[in-house]
């Protein structure tokens, strides 16, 4: 009898959770909502913008490259999207403030802020400099900080909003050869989780997203140090592997669903969830595992050559094309193709 009562109680709680989850999603529709997306001209940012526009929302895209912004705007307006593109260097707080003002002047408000912009620099610690760490912190932590600081007072006057911070599994588990990236993503994760409870009382819901590998096509724009060709090889193949990476369109759907619900946290890919759970339960074992992984990664190169930073598109491919076929298709589809 007691077992039956317990099972019934669990079933009722689960049903209530599903109803609440669905009702919160339906209350916050994307139609006519205004979303400001950093790094919105390509990759995941562009895919998110497409899906918001498809739901009747409006988007303001921030990016440094004006040519990419033009192509992104052409893509979105061709699908019926209402789009504002703003060339903006997120390392400049003045440009951030100007971009927010332009967005409000154009659309009247900002309902959703998506801090998506990111840089990835891959290579041994021996080749990473203080400047590499500072640049990663500037893009992944200080830029979201500036944007949130500027947008939150506006959201309060409008009665609330949504903030989505795209962090990474690298912000939950430190990964070898990604030290600047992991350090800055840990900072973003801590900041995002830290402000969530305080902003919720103003009806501003913060979602921290920790994606694992995603097939956005961005591997060609990542930067590599050390033995450039070998570093690109392991990174590109990992990013393209179907069993441990996620299609960008599916990832975007899950992110926007979490945003609409005001979900506190979202981890993408089963591999990432397993790794995070394993690290939480067995941190020492995870630490030993990372040491083993590092043994299989490329060793440092000569100082003169290894300290130079090259994009994936500038490296030589050491693997068959079929190994990154899905990621390469995403490169073409999501405006990630480097300029000639």
Decide if 1 is inside a domain: no
Task: Classify strands 34-38 and 58-63 as parallel, antiparallel or unpaired.
Answer: parallel
- Non-local (6+) Cβ contacts of 317 within 8 A are 229, 232, 233
pLDDT at 238 > cutoff 70: yes
Decide if 150 is inside a domain: yes
Q: Give the CA angle between residues 185, 152, 116 to the nearest 5°.
A: 35
Decide if 239 is inside a domain: yes
Note the pLDDT tens digit of each residue in 188-222.
Answer: 999 999 999 999 999 999 999 999 999 999 999 99
Q: For residues 60-75, b (16+ Cβ closer than 10 Å) or e, as one string?
A: bbbbeeeebbebbbeb
pLDDT at 340 > cutoff 70: no
- The domain tally of the chain equals 1
Global pTM value: 0.91
Helices (H), 38-91: 43-54, 66-77
Decide if 5 is inside a domain: no
For residue 235, the enclosing domain spans 26-333
Task: Please provide the average confidence, as pLDDT, over all residues in the chain.
Answer: 93
In the chain, the percentage of residues whose pLDDT exceeds 90 is 87
Decide if 18 is inside a domain: no
Decide if 8 is inside a domain: no
3-state secondary structure of 276: helix
Note the pLDDT tens digit of each residue in 265-287.
Answer: 999 999 999 999 999 999 999 99
Decide if 73 is inside a domain: yes
Residues carrying an active site annotation: 181
Q: For residues 101-126, b (16+ Cβ closer than 10 Å) or e, as one string?
A: ebbbeebeebbbbbbbbbbbbbbbee
For the domain that residue 46 is a member of, what is the CATH number?
3.40.50.720
Decide if 325 is inside a domain: yes
Note the pLDDT tens digit of each residue in 110-148.
Answer: 999 999 999 999 999 999 999 999 999 999 999 999 999
């Amino acid at each position: 009898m007691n077992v039956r009562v317990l099972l019934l109680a669990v079933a009722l709680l689960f049903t209530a959770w599903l109803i609440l989850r669905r009702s919160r999603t339906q209350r916050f529709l994307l139609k006519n909502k205004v979303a400001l997306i950093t790094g919105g001209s390509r990759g995941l940012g562009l895919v998110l913008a497409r899906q918001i526009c498809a739901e009747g929302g409006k988007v303001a895209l921030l990016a440094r490259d004006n040519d990419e912004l033009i192509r992104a705007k052409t893509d979105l307006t061709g699908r019926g999207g209402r789009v504002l593109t703003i060339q903006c260097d997120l390392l400049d707080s003045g440009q951030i403030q100007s971009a927010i003002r332009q967005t409000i002047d154009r659309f009247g408000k900002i309902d959703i802020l998506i801090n998506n912009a990111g840089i990835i620099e891959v290579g041994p610690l021996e080749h990473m400099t203080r400047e590499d760490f500072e640049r990663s912190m500037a893009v992944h932590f200080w830029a979201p900080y500036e944007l949130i600081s500027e947008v939150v007072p506006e959201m309060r006057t409008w009665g609330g909003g949504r903030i989505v911070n795209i962090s990474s599994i690298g912000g939950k588990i430190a990964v070898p050869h990604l030290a600047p990236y992991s350090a800055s993503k840990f900072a973003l994760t801590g900041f995002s989780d830290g402000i969530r409870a305080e902003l919720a009382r103003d009806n501003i819901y913060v979602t921290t997203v920790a994606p694992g590998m995603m097939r956005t096509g961005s591997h060609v724009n990542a930067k590599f140090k050390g033995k450039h060709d070998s570093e690109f090889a392991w990174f590109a193949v990992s990013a393209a592997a179907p069993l441990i990476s996620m299609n960008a369109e599916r990832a975007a759907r899950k992110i926007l669903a979490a945003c609409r619900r005001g979900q506190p946290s979202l981890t993408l890919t089963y591999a990432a969830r397993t790794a995070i759970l394993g690290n939480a339960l067995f941190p020492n074992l995870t630490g030993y595992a990372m040491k083993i992984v590092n043994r299989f990664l490329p060793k440092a190169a000569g100082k003169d050559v290894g300290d130079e930073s090259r994009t994936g598109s500038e490296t030589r491919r050491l693997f068959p094309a079929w190994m990154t076929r899905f990621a390469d298709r995403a490169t073409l589809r999501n405006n990630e193709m480097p300029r000639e």
